[in-house]
C-alpha cells in the first residue's frame, strides 16, 4: 500500500484541499493523511511538493503515432493540400517512423501527464511500441478503402490487425478497438462489417467525421476539392456514401466521432441522441484550416485530443488544452478551463469504457501530479492555472507504479 498526499486533489466533485489517497494498483481510499496513516500504518508515504495538484492520469483519445516523423513534410493551412501532401509523403514518413521515434513520443506524452491514449493505427506498425509503453492504449485498428474492387482484401488485412491486437490484450495494457477512416474513404459494405465486429466483441469504435468543408461538399453534392482527388487517384467521380447513410451505420453502437467541425446542429444532435461522443482536436482543426467546432452547442460528451503529429506540433495534452482556451475565445475562461480538464479525465475514460480518469475508490491508480509555481490565490481559478502553467508534470503513476 502507498499513500500520496497533495495540497489539492482533482475529484469528480472538483478540487479538494488537504486530502490523501491510499492506493495499490487501484485506489483504495481518499481521506486525510492522518486517517489514512492510522488505517494503513505500513504504507509508504509519498509527499508531493508544495502547491501540487493530484490529477487522475490524462487521456488523449485520438493520436496517430505512425505519423510521428512529420516535422515539415506535410502542408498545413488547408485540408485538401494537406491530404495531397499526405499521399505524396506517406511512405517516406511511415518508414522514417521507427519504434524509437514512436517511443520518444509516448515518453513525451507521459511527461505531459498522459497515462492513456487512443492509437489510431492504419498499418499496425505501432503495436510493438504500444505493448512496451507502460501507458494504457486503446488500439484502434483503422479500416480504409472506398474502392469495392479492393474492399475484401482491405477488410481481410484489417481483421488480421484486429486479431493481432486482441492477442496482446492479456500481456499488456492494450484494449483492441476499431476505427473507420472516414465516410469518403470506406465502402459502406465493409463499414457495416467492421461496425458489427466492434459490436460483437464490444470493442471501442471511432470514426473521423466531417472534418473539412471539402468532405461535406463531396458527400452532399459529389463536388468540390475532393472530386479532383478521387478522379486522380481512384478514377471515380461519385462518393460511395452520404452523410445520413454514414451516420445511420453507427445507430446501434456508441462511437467516438473525431472532428465533426463541419457537422450541422441537426447532425450533431442526431449523434447525441444515438449515444455517440465527439473527439475535439483544436490544433489539428486550426492547422488544417477546417474551422472551429462549436463545443458550446454539443449535447454529447466530448474529449479533447491531439490527433497525430501529421496535423500538430506536439502530443502534449497541456499544449492542446491551452490551444482550446485560445480557439474558443468567446467562452468564459474559468468555466471552460474546468470543463476541459473534465474532458481529458472522467469524460474520456467513460467514452473509451476504461476504469480510470477519476480519483475515486476502485478506479485504477493512474495519476499525474501538477505543481504550480505558487499557491493559487483564488480556488475558483485552479483549473485555469493548472492548464496555463503546466509544461510537464512533476510525477506520473500508472497502475500504482511511478514512470515519471
Ligand atoms: C480511399 O480508399 O478512398 C482513400 C484512401 C486514402 C485516402 C483517401 C481515400
Ligand atoms: Fe485523426
Residues with CB under 6 A from ligand 1: 144-147, 185, 234
Q: How far is the CA of 7 from the centre of ligand 1 (A)?
A: 50
To test the pocket of ligand 1, the residue of 181, 186, 191 to mutate (highest count of ligand atoms within 8 Å of its CB) is 181
**Residue identifier of the C-alpha nearest atom 4 of ligand 1:** 185
Query: Domains in the chain, ordered, with CATH?
Result: 2-56+358-402 (2.30.40.10), 58-352 (3.20.20.140)
**Residue identifier of the C-alpha nearest atom 8 of ligand 1:** 185
All three cell numbers of 34: 492522518
For residue 346, name the pLDDT band (cuts at 50, 70, 90).
very high
Per-residue burial over 164-203, b = 16 or more CB atoms within 10 Å of its CB, e = otherwise:
ebbebeeebbbbbbbbbbbbbbbbbebbebbbebbeeeeb
Q: What's the mean pLDDT in 329-346?
A: 98
Please list the residues that pair with 136 across neighbouring strands.
Answer: 116
Q: Are 304 and 340 in contact (CB under 8 A)?
A: yes
Give the number of the ligand closest to the Cα of residue 218: 1
Q: What's the mean pLDDT in 241-268?
A: 98
Nearest Cα to 54, choosing from 84, 21, 88, 86? 21
Percentage of the chain modeled with pLDDT above 70: 100
Give the number of the ligand closest to the Cα of residue 87: 1
Q: How far is the CA of 230 from the centre of ligand 1 (A)?
A: 8
> Which atom of ligand 1 lies nearest, measured to the CA of 240?
3
**Residue identifier of the C-alpha nearest atom 9 of ligand 1:** 185
What pLDDT does 289 receive?
98
In terms of Cβ atoms closer than 10 Å to its own Cβ (0-12, 13-18, 19+), residue 270 is: middle
Q: How far is the CA of 283 from the centre of ligand 1 (A)?
A: 23
Q: How far is the CA of 311 from the centre of ligand 1 (A)?
A: 17
> Which atom of ligand 1 lies nearest, measured to the CA of 185?
3
Please, what is the average pLDDT of the chain? Answer: 98
Nearest Cα to 218, choosing from 208, 228, 205? 228
Q: How far is the CA of 98 from the centre of ligand 2 (A)?
A: 19
Q: How far is the CA of 169 from the centre of ligand 2 (A)?
A: 23
Q: What's the mean pLDDT in 241-263?
A: 98
Q: What's the mean pLDDT in 317-343?
A: 98
All three cell numbers of 108: 513525451
Q: Are 206 and 258 in contact (CB under 8 A)?
A: yes
To test the pocket of ligand 1, the residue of 87, 179, 185 to mutate (highest count of ligand atoms within 8 Å of its CB) is 185
Q: What's the mean pLDDT in 228-257?
A: 97
From 105, 126, 142, 211, the catalytic residue: 211
Q: What's the mean pLDDT in 329-339?
A: 98
To test the pocket of ligand 1, the residue of 158, 184, 212 to mutate (highest count of ligand atoms within 8 Å of its CB) is 184
Q: Three-class SS string for the chain?
A: CEEEEEEEEEECCEEEEEEEEEECCEEEEEECHHHHHHHCCCCEEEECCCCEEEEECEEEEEECHHHCCCCCCCCCCCHHHHHHHHHHHHHHHHHHCCHHHHHHHHHHHHHCCEEEEEEEECCCCCHHHHHHCCCEEEEEEEECECCHHHHHHHHHHHHHHHHHHHHCHHHCCEEEEEEECCCCCECHHHHHHHHHHHHHCCCCEEEEECCCHHHHHHHHHCCCHHHHHHHHHHCCCCCCCCHHHHHHCCCCCCCEEEECCCCCHHHHHHHHHCCCEEEECHHHHHHCCCCCCCHHHCCCCEEECCCCCCCCCCCCHHHHHHHHHHHCCCCCHHHHHHHHHHHCCHHHHHHHCCCCCCCCCCCECCEEEEECCCCCCCHHHHHHHHHHHCCCCCEEEECCEECC
**Other Cβ atoms within 10 Å of 401 Cβ, number:** 12
Q: Please check the confidence at residue 12 and state whether its pLDDT lies above 90.
A: no
What pLDDT does 136 receive?
98
Give the number of the ligand closest to the Cα of residue 147: 1
All three cell numbers of 151: 474492399
Q: Residues 370-399: pLDDT tens digits?
A: 999 999 999 999 999 999 999 999 999 999
Give the number of the ligand closest to the Cα of residue 258: 2
Sign of the dihedral defined by the CA atoms of residues 245, 258, 363, 36, in that order: negative
To test the pocket of ligand 1, the residue of 79, 83, 85, 146 to mutate (highest count of ligand atoms within 8 Å of its CB) is 146
Q: How far is the CA of 117 from the centre of ligand 1 (A)?
A: 25
All three cell numbers of 315: 502530443
Q: What's the mean pLDDT in 259-275?
A: 98
For residue 95, name the pLDDT band (cuts at 50, 70, 90).
very high
All three cell numbers of 361: 475508490
Q: Are 400 and 23 in contact (CB under 8 A)?
A: yes
Distances (CA, A) of 176 to 63, 120, 159, 324, 352: 15, 11, 11, 29, 11
**Residue identifier of the C-alpha nearest atom 6 of ligand 1:** 185
Q: What's the mean pLDDT in 355-363?
A: 98
211 is catalytic: yes
Percentage of the chain modeled with pLDDT above 90: 99
Q: Please check the confidence at residue 365 and state whether its pLDDT lies above 90.
A: yes
HSE-up (13 A, CA, CB side) for residue 189: 10
Q: Please check the confidence at residue 58 and state whether its pLDDT lies above 90.
A: yes
Q: Please check the confidence at residue 172 and state whether its pLDDT lies above 90.
A: no
Residue 69, phi then psi, degrees to nearest 5: -80, -10
pLDDT higher for 188 or 13? 188
Pairing of strands 14-23, 52-56: unpaired
Amino acid at each position: 500500500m502507498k499513500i500520496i498526499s497533495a495540497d489539492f486533489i482533482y475529484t469528480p466533485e472538483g478540487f479538494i484541499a488537504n486530502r490523501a489517497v491510499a492506493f495499490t494498483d487501484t485506489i483504495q481510499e481518499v481521506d486525510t493523511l492522518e486517517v489514512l496513516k492510522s488505517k494503513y500504518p505500513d504504507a509508504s508515504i509519498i509527499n508531493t511538493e508544495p502547491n501540487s495538484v493530484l490529477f487522475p492520469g490524462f487521456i488523449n483519445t485520438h493520436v496517430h503515432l505512425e505519423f510521428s516523423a512529420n516535422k515539415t513534410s506535410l502542408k498545413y493551412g488547408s485540408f485538401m493540400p494537406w491530404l495531397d501532401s499526405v499521399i505524396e509523403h506517406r511512405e517516406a514518413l511511415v518508414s522514417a517512423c521507427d519504434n524509437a521515434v514512436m517511443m520518444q513520443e509516448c515518453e513525451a506524452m507521459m511527461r505531459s501527464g498522459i497515462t492513456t491514449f487512443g492509437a489510431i493505427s492504419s498499418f499496425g506498425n505501432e503495436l510493438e511500441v504500444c505493448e512496451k509503453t507502460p501507458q494504457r492504449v486503446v488500439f484502434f485498428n483503422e479500416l480504409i478503402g472506398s474502392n469495392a474492387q479492393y474492399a475484401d482484401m482491405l477488410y481481410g488485412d484489417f481483421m488480421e490487425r484486429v486479431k493481432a491486437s486482441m492477442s496482446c490484450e492479456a500481456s499488456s495494457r492494450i484494449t483492441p478497438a476499431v476505427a473507420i477512416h472516414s465516410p469518403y474513404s470506406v465502402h459502406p459494405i465493409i463499414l457495416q462489417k467492421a461496425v458489427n465486429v466492434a459490436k460483437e466483441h464490444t470493442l471501442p469504435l471511432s470514426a473521423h467525421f466531417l472534418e473539412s468543408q471539402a468532405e461535406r461538399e463531396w458527400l452532399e453534392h459529389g463536388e468540390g476539392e475532393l472530386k479532383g482527388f478521387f478522379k486522380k487517384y481512384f478514377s471515380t467521380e461519385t462518393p460511395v456514401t452520404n452523410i445520413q447513410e454514414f451516420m445511420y451505420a453507427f445507430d446501434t453502437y456508441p462511437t467516438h466521432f473525431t472532428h465533426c467541425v463541419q457537422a450541422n446542429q441537426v447532425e450533431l444532435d442526431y449523434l447525441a441522441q444515438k449515444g455517440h461522443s465527439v473527439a475535439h482536436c483544436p490544433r489539428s482543426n486550426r492547422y488544417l484550416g477546417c474551422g472551429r467546432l462549436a463545443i458550446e452547442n454539443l449535447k454529447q460528451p466530448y474529449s479533447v485530443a491531439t490527433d497525430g503529429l501529421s496535423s500538430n506540433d506536439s502530443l502534449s495534452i497541456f499544449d492542446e488544452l491551452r490551444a482550446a482556451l485560445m480557439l474558443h475565445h468567446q467562452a468564459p475562461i474559468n468555466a471552460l478551463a474546468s470543463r476541459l480538464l473534465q474532458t481529458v479525465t472522467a469524460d474520456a475514460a467513460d467514452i473509451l469504457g476504461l476504469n480510470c480518469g477519476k480519483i475515486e475508490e476502485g478506479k485504477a491508480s493512474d495519476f499525474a501530479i501538477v505543481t504550480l509555481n505558487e499557491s493559487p490565490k483564488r480556488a475558483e481559478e485552479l483549473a485555469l492555472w493548472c492548464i496555463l502553467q503546466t509544461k510537464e508534470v512533476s510525477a506520473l503513476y500508472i497502475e500504482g507504479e511511478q514512470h515519471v
